[in-house]
């Protein structure tokens, strides 16, 4: 199995885990801090989906070599893939929002639970709120985006199957 196909499957697996955690586990546990773990899985799914498209394009020599860091991949994705396939800019902004939230979680000076939401605060007291409705929206939008990315990597699978 090619690297891009492995990453495509990893993206499907991670978004499935996030969805299951929100629909099944979260209502049982009712711990808002679980929302952070769910969002982390969503971000990992998106990163795997982006990696899948980049590996596919690199394999068929459609893009130049790029940095293997998450930042390098995202930069190449925005520069080459978004324009080439006319992907929705709203999806790119969503990915950036999720990345900011996860970065804010790791760098937050204060984090607390309030009324079923997780509130993250930085050193300048900029507050970001994460609630189940927002996480559900991220999952739904991410699933649609990942389907779109998956279609980009599967359309040529049968035509250019490597042996």
Q: Is residue 163 part of a domain?
A: no
Residue 99 included in any domain: yes
DSSP string, 39-59: HHHHHHHHHHHHHHHHHHHHH
Rounded distance, CA 25 to CA 29, Å?
6
Residue pLDDT, tens place only, 39-53: 999 999 999 999 999
Between β-strands 110-114 and 117-121, what pairing exists: parallel, antiparallel or unpaired? antiparallel
Domain count, the chain: 1
pTM: 0.92
| Residue 68: predicted pLDDT | 86
Tell me the CATH number at 55. 1.20.120.330
Residue 32 lies in a domain: yes
Cβ atoms 47, 102 nearer than 8 A:
no
Give per-residue pLDDT as tens, 55-92.
999 998 999 998 889 999 999 999 999 999 999 999 99
The pLDDT of residue 105 is above 60 = yes
DSSP single-letter state for residue 81: I
């Amino acid at each position: 199995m090619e690297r891009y196909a492995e990453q495509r499957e990893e993206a499907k697996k991670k978004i499935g885990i996030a969805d299951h955690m929100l629909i099944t586990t979260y209502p049982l546990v009712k711990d808002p801090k679980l929302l952070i773990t769910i969002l982390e899985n969503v971000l990992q799914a998106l990163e795997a989906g982006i990696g899948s498209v980049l590996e596919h394009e690199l394999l068929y020599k459609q893009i130049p070599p790029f940095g293997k860091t998450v930042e390098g991949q995202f930069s190449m994705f925005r520069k080459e893939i978004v324009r080439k396939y006319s992907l929705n800019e709203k999806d790119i902004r969503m990915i950036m929002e999720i990345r900011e939230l996860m970065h804010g979680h790791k760098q937050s000076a204060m984090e607390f639970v309030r009324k079923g939401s997780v509130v993250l605060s930085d050193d300048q007291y900029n507050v970001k709120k994460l609630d189940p409705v927002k996480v559900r929206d991220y999952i739904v939008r991410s699933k649609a985006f990942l389907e779109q990315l998956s279609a980009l990597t599967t359309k040529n699978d049968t035509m250019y199957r490597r042996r």
